[in-house]
Chains A and B, each alone.
Chain A
Amino acid sequence: MRLVLLVLLTAPAACAQVETAPQPPPPPVTRQEAAPDTTADGRTQAEVAVAATIAEPGVHVVHFWAPWCGNSRAEFEAGWYEVVEANPDVSFSFVTIWNDGRDSADRLARYGITPGDRVAVFAQPDRGPSADRDLRRRTFLGLPLSWTPTTWIFNRGGQLAYAFNYGEVSPDMLATAIEHARDEWTHD
């Protein structure tokens, strides 16, 4: 994982040298306590959008990934798109993290997942270059993020039902969790 991350983080810089003439260096990115794209309460635009989505009735999947992460790609290659297609009543929000603010929708499309009425693509910006681990955002909607890929499933108007914050989630695991989140349970 670490090796893959290192290689892929350095790869774009190598490509840029080949594709373009020498350019002046970009302005330095500094640490930002409140990035311009955050709301007054500190939420990013991605958080605002996802919060609105999961507040709706039904079951909602929020998936955090990065195109440079082999575990993220392995999940998609295992056939996540089949679960997306098989659950037309479920919303899916694909949020890139630690990816310099790019949503990488084109990469997602390679795995058969494209934005639509119930499939949305977002990028969660960091507080500076994502290569600097100290500047990465480690929460989303107040919940902990410590691993990519991470998958959360919400129901009951935005309540967390399941969180998979480590390893990889197979299509079968995802389908089962969606099915269980859809179940009607009662309490005294």
Chain B
Amino acid sequence: MSGPDAVHGEMPGFFPGRPGGERDEPLLDMIFDRRPLPPGAPPEMHDLARMLTVVAGPAEPGELAGEATVLAAFARLASPAGISPAASRSARRRLSVRPRRARLPMAAALVTAAAGLGSIAAAYVGVLPGPIQQMAHVTVGAPLPPHGSAHRPAAVANPRPNMTLAPGISVTRPAHSAVPRRIHSGTASHWPRHRMSVQGPGHVAASCIPWPGTTPSAAKPSPTPSPTPSAAKASPSPSAAKASPTPSPSATRPPVGASQSPVGADCPYIPATGPAQAAVPNVWVSPPSGDGGS
């Protein structure tokens, strides 16, 4: 044969213009291996070698434009602590999404455990209502419930001032005052104290816990809720607590802010000193009066 009998497009495996191009495979391998071509190699081979040398050459303008971004990612991800295999595994675990159905039982278990531990702790502190405290005494050996403390509401929110929140709780608060003041203070006592907080004008949250200094058997509910400290009551249980009609220094809470406050100054809502009239509390809860306190 004197020449190619097929056009190049019909014989794609052959080198263009060179029938039997498979014979150039050693040259092509030399180009791939970046070895110098023999002087007698076809010029196309040299052109190919030159092109491939260029394409494998150093960076051209713009090709390193993303360096700052990649290095920032490196600095963020590849800190000495984060580059360790353990940290990488930890990061992968953090990135992995736990199935939702696996998270729900875990959350329920955590909530249950927290509630149980909290209940046990409350039982040992002795702040549970009487029947529950009694049950805790039987079951987990918690202290016996104080006599007469049958019920203590945990917290009451009252959007209006000067109204009774619940049986045994009365709140007196000037509507214009939004700054929480100390309700009472006192020395250490095994009785939890009344707690109140003002969460803004017209919003009062109160915690009704027996007043320190009173004995469990002395607490009596007031027949009628009263906005005055002397008439307020803390325990709604008629059988357990009765409020004294008149304030008693030992059983009822003095005017908020009065220096003769029976409790200490650890309550953030009660000013430590000040005239009784001037220090009318914006919120406060009267302590329960004892049976024999009146």
Q: Do A and B come from one complex?
A: no
B residues engaging A (CB < 8 A)? none
A residues engaging B (CB < 8 A)? none
